């Protein structure tokens, strides 16, 4: 499988079984702007949330998991909100988590 550009830059694994997609549009902080490709905030916060959630997942799980977090308003720690919301979503979807975030 061909790795995407961001994965090559940050030296990430070429194939993963767990991904966090963190989306933070400009209107979340009352800024006007175009929706462009993921910036430093999206990549960094997504990696932070993924790093927090990965130890909670079972080692042997037969499926690939993709969690999408779309921040629509921000007045606090949106990356921590991503971890909490993703943890709840994983529990609700039946992933056998070792503990909660």
| pLDDT above 60 for 1 | no
Q: 1 near 14, Cβ under 8 Å?
A: yes
Whole-prediction pTM: 0.70
CA distance 88 to 101: 9
pLDDT tens readout for residues 32-78: 766 666 666 777 777 888 899 999 998 888 888 999 888 877 777 87
Report the C-alpha gap between 14 and 40 in whole angstroms.
20
pLDDT of 12 over the 70 cut: no
Tokens of 36: 């462009």
Q: Which of 74, 23, 27 is nearest to 45 (CA)?
A: 23
Q: How far apart are the C-alpha atoms of 66 and 96, rounded to whole Å?
A: 15
Say what angle helices 40-53 and 78-92 make with each other, to 10 degrees: 50
């Amino acid at each position: 499988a061909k790795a995407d550009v961001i994965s090559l830059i940050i030296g990430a694994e070429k194939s993963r079984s767990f991904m966090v997609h963190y989306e933070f549009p400009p209107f979340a902080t009352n800024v006007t702007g175009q929706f462009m490709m993921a910036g430093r905030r999206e990549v960094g916060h997504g990696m932070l949330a993924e790093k927090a959630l990965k130890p909670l997942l079972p080692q042997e799980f037969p499926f690939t998991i993709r969690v999408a977090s779309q921040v629509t308003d921000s007045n606090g720690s949106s990356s921590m909100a991503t971890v909490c919301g993703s943890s709840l979503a994983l529990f609700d979807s039946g992933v056998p988590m070792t503990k909660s975030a």
